[in-house]
Amino acid sequence: MSHVRPAAGDKTLYSEGYKKYVLLALTGVYIFNFIDRQILVILQESIKADLDLSDTQLGLLTGLAFALFYVTVGLPIARLADRSNRKNIISISLVIWSGMTALSGLVSNFFQLLLARVGVGIGEAGGSPPAHSMISDYFPKEKRATAIAVYSMGIYIGILLGYLFGGWLDEILGWRLALMMMGIPGIVYALIFFITVKEPPRGYSEKRVVGYHTMPTMREVLHILVAKQSFKYIALGAGFTAFVQYGVGNWTPSFMVRTHAMQGGELGTWLALSVGLGGAFGVWVGGYYGDKYGRSDPKWYLLIPVITLSLSIPSTLIFLCAENKYLCLMAMAFSKICWTTYLSPCIAMSHGMVGLRMRALASAILFLVLNILGLGLGPLFFGALSDYLAPTHAGQSLLFSLSLSIVVIMIAISLFWKAAHLIKNDL
């Protein structure tokens, strides 16, 4: 099998401008990923009233039902991405999850909406691992965390747009039309992405090429990662951080409606600015400063999350306890910055532990832990605990439930601290 083999020092196969375009195009895919993933969060109070759902059911819809299929399907898709055309996988996946989001507006009961969300999860499983692998081939290791940070900003731009447009569309047109109108544009974008983005040669950024005969098995990749002491702490630290990030984040709109009586349009606008911009800035901080200080000592990639998670504890308490709704939202914006610095360094360090044809699968394994603990169990845990406390704490049950996030933050801090002191030997 023939391969394009970049010569030593060759920078002509892809211009710097084109590489930046690809990074922005991949970021656009991630924006649609999180618009469709998180749109249900800003709509959930309207959906709850219309379909007569409990908080536990909402937690399933926004968390576990999506996450289980997202991570299980993600492993074989990542395996496929390590051996075949990643651009095609991303394009097809974007069509699937955008179409299922639009179809969600046609459901009439919980079970139908559950199936639609499963479809979104299956589609989105083909998004990030292939994209991470492409980024690592386009950008060298000294720029990789920053590039992944730019890509990961798509999470919070997507949340920003989902909250902003979802909140206003819900208030003006209703939640069903909001889902349809937010899902259809992704199908159009998938065609643009397919036409304009090129599949890079494996190992291009390292000036190396590997053939398919070097393709490792899934068991071999898992064995390599598990043998790295730091990876286990990184994966668990990422998982517990995501537990707070998704758990508190997914219940923030309901908390603000129930505690501060905010309405859909105003709430969507404020959350778009506070959570969306705060989260985007946080992932950039983690990637940029990870690359800046990690060049001299890689432990800084993981000490940055230690520092920022520690700073998030007082701001999270302010968010939960302040009586002024705008102070709550500003405190949440600061917490969001602090909760999101971990992502780019964790992905970059995971890629640094494995070979060229293991990167998509390494991302999928990291995301399996991150999304089962975080996206899967976080919203469900806080929702179920809120239902359990409701008979005795009435309107304050969600507040008491979310207060446990402080304990989880402390666990994540200790895990990243341990990983920081092990990472150098594992790279």
d(CA 221, CA 241): 24
> In the chain, pLDDT over 70 holds for what percent of residues?
94
Task: Name the helix (H) or strand (E) containing 336.
Answer: helix 325-339
CB distance 61 to 114 below 8 Å:
yes
Question: What's the pLDDT score for residue 68?
Answer: 82
d(CA 194, CA 18): 15
User: What confidence tens digit (pLDDT) does each residue in 33-87 have?
Assistant: 999 888 888 898 899 999 998 888 888 887 777 788 888 888 888 888 888 899 9
Lowest-confidence region among 161-175, 357-371, 392-406 = 357-371
Question: What's the pLDDT score for residue 66?
Answer: 78
Q: Is 80 exceeded by the pLDDT of residue 356?
A: no
d(CA 385, CA 406): 15
Q: Mean pLDDT across the stretch 186-204?
A: 91
Task: Give the residue carrying structure tokens 């047109």.
Answer: 173
Position 297, amino acid? D
Question: What's the pLDDT score for residue 86?
Answer: 93
Q: Is 70 exceeded by the pLDDT of residue 213?
A: no
User: What confidence tens digit (pLDDT) does each residue in 381-427 have?
Assistant: 998 999 999 888 877 899 999 999 999 999 999 999 999 999 988 87
Q: Is 50 exceeded by the pLDDT of residue 246?
A: yes
Q: What is the pTM of this model?
A: 0.77
Residue 208 pLDDT class (50, 70, 90 cuts): low
CA of residue 34 relative to chain centroid, distance: 7
Q: Is 70 exceeded by the pLDDT of residue 211?
A: no
Q: Is 70 exceeded by the pLDDT of residue 230?
A: yes
Residue 322 pLDDT class (50, 70, 90 cuts): very high
CATH 1.20.1250.20 fits 16-203+216-426, yes or no: yes
d(CA 346, CA 167): 32
